[in-house]
Amino acid sequence: MSYDTNNIFAKILRGEIPCHKVYEDEHTLAFMDVMPQADGHTLVIPKAPSRNLLDADPAALGALMATVQKVARATRQAFGAEGVLIQQFNEPAAGQTVFHLHVHILPRSTGVALKPHSGKMADHALLAQHAEKIRHALEA
């Protein structure tokens, strides 16, 4: 399986389609998932192209996980969550639908059920508001 440069996250990285950005550095980008399974559901991607974890350059993973940790902490704080679920899918059989490596960050609290994976498109004004909350927590 090869990397398709026209996948939707590659287009986001090239600025061809918009996203609700929460964080960016030299190696990574974090933005709101448009079909969130929980309030604050964020995705972190490496800028280096890879289809998923299986074909990724190990050298890119340190920066990716450092951003995952940073954004997970901010997301937990921004949403007052008790915990944070980290998910990452590899190939369709494992639930992957977008073929550029990405890590899901899902704030969790007791008694709050997760919505379905790739379920319903969220309101963009709400996503913008959630991104702002996370950016604010990142600055704190």
- Binding residues (CB under 6 A) for ligand AMP: these are 8, 19, 33-35, 43, 89, 95-98, 118
Q: Could you confirm whether 41 is annotated as catalytic?
A: no
Q: Which is nearer to ligand AMP, 34 or 60 (CB)?
A: 34
> At closest approach, how far in Å is the CB of 21 from ligand AMP?
11
Q: Which is nearer to ligand AMP, 113 or 140 (CB)?
A: 113
- What are the φ/ψ torsions at residue 48 (nearest 5 degrees)? -70, 135
Distance (Å, rounded) from C-alpha 40 to C-alpha 116?
Answer: 15
Q: Can you say whether the dihedral through the CA atoms of 34, 135, 76, 50 is positive or negative?
A: positive
Q: Which is nearer to ligand AMP, 93 or 140 (CB)?
A: 93
Q: How far is CA 14 from the centre of its chain?
A: 17
Nearest residue relative to ligand AMP (C-beta): 35
Catalytic-labelled residue, pool 20, 41, 100, 102: 102
Count CB-CB contacts under 10 A for residue 111. Answer: 6
Which residues are identified as catalytic? 102
